Amino acid sequence: MNQILQAANNRISSIIEDRRHLHRNPELSFQEHETCAYISKRLLSMNIEHSIIAQTGIIAHIGKGDRCIALRADIDALPIQEDTNLDFASCKPGIMHACGHDAHTAMLLGAAAILKECESTLNGVVKLIFQPGEEKVPGGASIMVAEGALEHPKPEAIFGQHVYPDAPCGEIQISIGPTMASADEIYITIHGKGAHAAQPHQGIDPILIASELILHLQSLITKTRNPLLPGLLGITSIHGGSATNIIPDSVELKGTLRSFDPSWREQAIRMIQKHTEQLCALHGATSEVTILRGYPAVYNHEGAARFAIQTAQRLIGDAQVTDFEPKMWGEDFAFYGQHIPAAFWMLGVRPHHQASMPGLHNAQFTPDEQALPIGAAMMAKSAIDWLSNPIAYHE
C-alpha cells in the first residue's frame, strides 16, 4: 500500500471523528463561526500556523520555501431538514451537511496531519484553504480570492475534491477541461392588470404572458446556442394568483442559466432581458428582470488535471481512476481557476453493496466514510508530489 495512503488509513478514526462532529453541527453559508473555531482548534492541536480570512474562512501554511501549492475544502451546510436517523445527525433543525462539505473539511484536516508530519521534507509550502459560503452567491471563493487567499505566497496550482454518490466508494473521477457549468440565477416579475376572470378584456393576464415567455425562452436557448456547446435554461418556479376567478396583477418567475461557454452565457443573458421586455410589451405588460451572476464554469487546467490523474493512479491504481462526465452543476471552486491552474476531482462515496444511494442535496444523503482516508491521502499526495516535480507539470 502507498505510504501516504497507509498514513491516512492510520488516521481513519480521527478523520471520521472530525466529519461526524462537523455533521452534527452544521452551519449555513457565511455563518460558519463554530465550524471555523473547530477547524482552528484542530490546526492548533497539530501546531499548524493559520489565520482567519473572509470572517469564517481559514488559511493555513505547512512547510517553507519559494514554491507553493494550494488545497481547498468548503465548510458550509445547506438549509435542509436531515432525514438519515444517524447517531450523529444534525442537531440544528433545518440545516444539514447534505452536500458533503463536512467530509471535505475532515479530509483536508486529515491531509494536514499527514503533511505536518513530513513538513521537513516538503519542497515548498502547502497552503490549506478552508472556505466558507460555497452554497450561496457570490460564493465564498470569490471573497477569499478578493481578500488575498491566493497571495503571500501565490500557489502554482490549486486542487479540490467533492464527494460523489454516483461512483463506488474510493473511486476517483476527473476530467480535463470543462467540468462544471457557470450558474446564474434568473428572477422575472411580470406586471399585468388584475381583473375578473370572466372579464379578461378588462385586464392584462400575466399568467398567460408567463406561459408564453417560458416557451419563448426555451426556444431561444435551443435555437441560438451551438448544439455542440452544452447550455440550458430552466424556469423552476412560478408564482401568481390566489383564486380561480381572478386574473392577478403580477406573476413571479425564477430559474437558472447554465453554460460552459462564456460568450454564449453573455449572449443568453442579454436575450433573456431583451426578449422578456419585448414579449411583455406586446401584451401591454411590463417586466422586471434580475439576473444574478453566479459562479463561472469550472475548467480543469490540462497540466494540473493530468498531474492529478497520474497522482491518483499511483495512489489507488489505474482501475480506480476514471473519467468524470462533466455536469451542469455549479461550483465556486471555479473562481480559483480564473487566477491559477486548478484541478477538481470527484471521490466516490457510494457503498459497494448498494447499486445507488440518495444524491447530493438530499435529506438522506449518507456517504460511505471508508472513502475519507482515500480523499485525505489524495490531497496530501497531490501536494507532496507537485512540490517534488519539475516546472514542466505546471505549463
Catalytic residue IDs: 76, 134
Q: What is the DSSP string of 192-206?
A: -B-EETT-GGGSB-H
What sign results for the dihedral spanned by CA atoms 327, 328, 334, 337?
positive
The widest CA-to-CA distance across the chain, in whole angstroms, is 81
What sign results for the dihedral spanned by CA atoms 30, 35, 39, 45?
positive
Kindly give, in sequence order, each residue whose CB lies less than 8 Å from that of residue 104, ignoring residues fewer than 6 positions away. Answer: 73, 74, 75, 161, 162, 163, 375
**315: closest CA among 158, 174, 157?**
174
Cell numbers representing residue 314 in the block: 499511483
First to last CA, the chain: 31
Cα 360 to Cα 19, 209, 311, 357, 379: the distances in Å are 16, 35, 26, 10, 21
